Amino acid sequence: MNLRGVGVSPGIGHGPAYVLTVSVPEPPEGATYTGEADEEKERAMAALTRVAGELEARGNQAGGEAEEILKAQALMAEDPGLVVKVRTLIDRGLAAPRAVFEAFIKYRDVLAGSGGYLGERAADLDDIRNRVIALLYGVAMPGLPAAAAEPYVLVARDLAPADTALLSRAQVAAFVTEEGGPTSHTAIVARAMGVPAVVACPGATGIPPGVRVMADGTSGDVRVEPAESDVAEAVGADTARQAAIASARGPGRTADGHPVPLLANVGGPSELDAAVAAEAEGIGLYRTEFLFLDRAEPPSVEDQARAYRAAVAAFPGGKVVVRTLDGGADKPLAFLPTPAEPNPALGERGLRRFRRFPAVMEEQLSALAAVGSEDLQVMAPMVATAEEAGWFARECRARGLPSVGVMIEIPSAALRARDLLVPVDFVSIGTNDLAQYAFAADRQLGVVSALQDPWQPALLDLVAMAASAASEAGKPCGICGESAADPALACVLVGLGASTLSMGAGALPAVRAGLAAHTLAQCRMAADAARARTTAAEARAAARVHLPGLGRLGL
Ligand code: PEP
Ligand code: MG
C-alpha cells in the first residue's frame, strides 16, 4: 500500500507503525446531572485546572519550543471565556462532561474558522477537551509506548503537543498524520526535532499497527511494507543528500558569488537559537503577533523591547526585520478585538487593524524605537496602497526608526510596487498571502491548495513585478513567504530579482546549498523558463532544467 501526503519535514524515516487512536467517548447529548449545580461546576473546574496543571508540568519537563506550546495549551484550558461557557451550560442542566464538550465545540469553531497558524491549533484544543472529559469519566487517556524496541513511525489523525512533547528522535522515526498542514503542530515539532514528517495523508490511520512503514518527508510518499532493498536505497540517498547539503556553509551566495543574504523567519525568542545554529545572517521576518497570541492585554513596552533587543543581540551586525502586529483573520489577537466579519481574510487585518488601535501602535513603535539599533528594520503587513505605506513610514520615522519597509502580499501592492516604494526603504514579499489573494484561495483550505502553489506563473509574475520596481528604485526586495524555503523556487526568486530570502531555520541549509550550486545567470534562466509556462507543474519542471545542481544535491 502506498499513500501520499504533504512532506513537511525532510528525510526518510522507517520503522513499525504505531497508530495512535483517541477513544474518549462523546458525552451523550442532553446528559444531565443529579446533584447540585455548584458541585457539578466544581467538578468541571477541578478537571480543567488539573489538565492545565498537567500540561504545564509536561511543558517544564520537555523544555524548549514544546514548553511554550504546552504552556499556551495550559492557558487555553483555563481560558476565561471557556470557563464561563462551561458554567453556563451546567446552569442550564448539562452534566459536566457534556458541558465541557459543547463549550469546546464553540471555542474550536472560532479557532478553526480563523485558519492559519491559529486554525491549526484546533487539534490542540481537541486534545485538551479529551483530557478533561477522560478525567471526568475516570478513563485513561491513550498514550504512547514509553520504550519501544526500535524507533516507530507515529501515525495519527493529528497530533497534539501533549502527545509529542516528551518524544525524542531515538523513539520516533517519522510522523504521519491524516490532518494538518505545513504550519500544524506536528510539522513544527517534527522540524524542531529533525524527524521526517508527512501530514495531510488520507488513509494513514488505516495502516495496520505494527507493519513496517517508510515515510519520505520530502516527497510526502508513505510506503507500507516496503521492500528492504527500497528502504536501504532511500536511506542511502538521504544520507548522501544530507552530507552534500551540510557541506555548503557561510553567507548565502550563488556559485558566481552574487550575495543573497539568507535570513530566518521567527515567531519569538525561543526560535532565535535555531536560527543562529542554522547560520542565518539575520532575521527577515519577526512575526510579533506570535509573541502575544495568548495575552488578553497588550504586552508592555518593556516586554516588547526586551524581545526585540534579544533578536538584535542574536545577530551582531546582521539585520533584523520586525513586522508590526498582523492581527485579524488567521491571527486574531485578544487585545485587538475583531468585529464579526463575513470574510475575515478580506477584513480589517494587519495594518488596517493596527491603524485603528493607536495606543497599541504607539506602544509597539515605541518599543522598537527603544531598542535604538541601526540594524533593526520595521515593516508593516497587509499594505494595499501607497497611501498606507506613506502613513506607516511617517509614523515610524517620527519615532526615529531608522529603516522602514512594507510587505507586498496583496496583488494591488505588487501591481503598484513602484508607488509603495517611494516612502519606504525596502519591501518584502509575503508569498503566502500574495498567493491567497491573487488566486482567491484560502491559504488553509485543503481543497484549494493547488491554487496556493507558489510555482503558479501568475504568482511569479507578481513577484517579478515587485522585484523589478524595487531594483529600479534602488531598494532591496526580500522574500519572506514559505516559497523561499523551496530550494528550487529560492533560485527562481533570486532570478526574479529577490535580494534576500527569509525562511524557517530548518530550510536554510538546503536553500544555501541549492543557491551555491548555481550561477545568477542560471537562476535568471530558470526564472524566465518558469514564467514562460502556463501551469505550476510545468513552471517547476521548466525551471529545474536550468538548475542541474539540485539533482546532484538530491533536492
Ligand atoms: C506571507 O503572507 O507570506 C507572510 C510571510 O506572512 P504570514 O505568513 O505571517 O501571513
Ligand atoms: Mg502574510
CA dihedral 450, 127, 481, 353 (to 10 degrees): 110
For residue 485, being part of any structural domain is answered with yes
pLDDT confidence of residue 42: 94
Furthest-apart CA atoms within the chain: distance in Å? 78
Same domain, 271 and 389: yes
Out of 14, 185, 518, 546, which one is annotated catalytic?
185
Residue 424 and residue 405 in contact, taking contact as beta carbons nearer than 8 Å: yes
Cα 450 to Cα 446: distance, rounded to the nearest angstrom: 8
Nearest ligand 1 atom to the CA of 436 is 2
Cα 447 to Cα 166: distance, rounded to the nearest angstrom: 33
Going by their DSSP bridges, the two strands 426-429 and 403-408 should be labelled as: parallel
For residue 4, what is the enclosing H or E element?
A: strand 2-4
pLDDT confidence of residue 457: 97
Same domain, 411 and 525: yes
Of 237, 269, 301, the position where a domain reaches its end is 237
Residue 344 and residue 368 in contact, taking contact as beta carbons nearer than 8 Å: no
For residue 389, being part of any structural domain is answered with yes
Residue 230 CA to ligand 1 center (angstroms) comes to: 38
Residues of the chain with pLDDT under 50: none
Same domain, 128 and 147: no
Mutation probe of ligand 1 site: the residue of 349, 406, 407, 503 with most atoms within 8 A of C-beta: 407
Close Cβ partners of 225 (under 8 Å, ≥ 6 residues apart): 1, 211, 212, 213
Q: Cα separations (Å) of 296 from 122, 270, 335, 358, 471? A: 19, 21, 6, 17, 42
Residue 147 CA to ligand 1 center (angstroms) comes to: 39
pLDDT confidence of residue 212: 96
Same domain, 415 and 269: yes
Neighbours of 199 (CB within 10 A): 29
pLDDT confidence of residue 161: 67
Domain with 228, as residue range(s), is: 2-21+143-237
Of 182, 204, 237, the position where a domain reaches its end is 237
For the four alpha carbons of 122, 126, 127 and 132, in that order, the dihedral sign comes to positive
Identify the nearest ligand to the CA of 430 by its number: 1
Give residue-wise pLDDT tens across range 17-54: 999 876 677 899 999 999 999 999 999 999 999 988 88
pLDDT confidence of residue 272: 95
Same domain, 513 and 493: yes
Residue count (the chain): 555
Cα 144 to Cα 146: distance, rounded to the nearest angstrom: 6
Same domain, 306 and 450: yes
Same domain, 230 and 272: no
Residue 409 CA to ligand 2 center (angstroms) comes to: 6
Of 137, 157, 181, the position where a domain reaches its end is 137
Residue closest by Cα to atom 9 of ligand 1 = 287
pLDDT confidence of residue 184: 65
Kindly list the protein residues whose Cβ atom lies closer than 6 A to any atom of ligand 1. Answer: 285, 287, 326, 409, 430-433, 480-481
Question: What does pTM read for this prediction?
Answer: 0.72
Residue 367 CA to ligand 2 center (angstroms) comes to: 22
Q: Is there a catalytic annotation at residue 258?
A: no
Mutation probe of ligand 1 site: the residue of 114, 266, 287, 353 with most atoms within 8 A of C-beta: 287
Amino acid at 294: D
For residue 528, being part of any structural domain is answered with yes
Q: Which protein residues have their CB within 5 A of the ion that is ligand 2?
A: 409, 430, 433
The count of domains in the chain is 3
For residue 471, being part of any structural domain is answered with yes
For residue 302, being part of any structural domain is answered with yes
Q: Which three cell numbers stand for residue 16?
A: 513499525
pLDDT confidence of residue 18: 92
Q: What is the CATH number of the domain that holds 371?
A: 3.20.20.60
Q: Is there a catalytic annotation at residue 491?
A: no
Mutation probe of ligand 1 site: the residue of 326, 433, 444, 477 with most atoms within 8 A of C-beta: 433
Q: What are phi and psi of 513, to 5 degrees?
A: -65, -40
For residue 243, being part of any structural domain is answered with no
Residue 235 and residue 217 in contact, taking contact as beta carbons nearer than 8 Å: no
Q: Print the SS3 string covering 204-234.
A: HHHCCCCCEEEEECCCCEEEECCCHHHHHHH
Residue 14 CA to ligand 2 center (angstroms) comes to: 35
Same domain, 537 and 493: yes
Q: What is the CATH number of the domain that holds 222?
A: 3.50.30.10
Q: Which three cell numbers stand for residue 132?
A: 478533561
Residue 543 and residue 492 in contact, taking contact as beta carbons nearer than 8 Å: yes
Query: What would the DSSP string read from start to end of 408-461?
Result: E-SHHHHHTHHHHHTTSSEEEE-HHHHHHHHTT--TT-GGGGGGG-TT-HHHHH
For residue 32, being part of any structural domain is answered with no
Same domain, 82 and 160: no
Close Cβ partners of 494 (under 8 Å, ≥ 6 residues apart): 254, 258, 260, 501, 515, 520, 523
For residue 29, being part of any structural domain is answered with no
Q: Which three cell numbers stand for residue 288?
A: 510579533
Same domain, 381 and 514: yes
Out of 201, 396, 480, 523, which one is annotated catalytic?
480
Same domain, 338 and 384: yes
Residue 478 CA to ligand 2 center (angstroms) comes to: 14
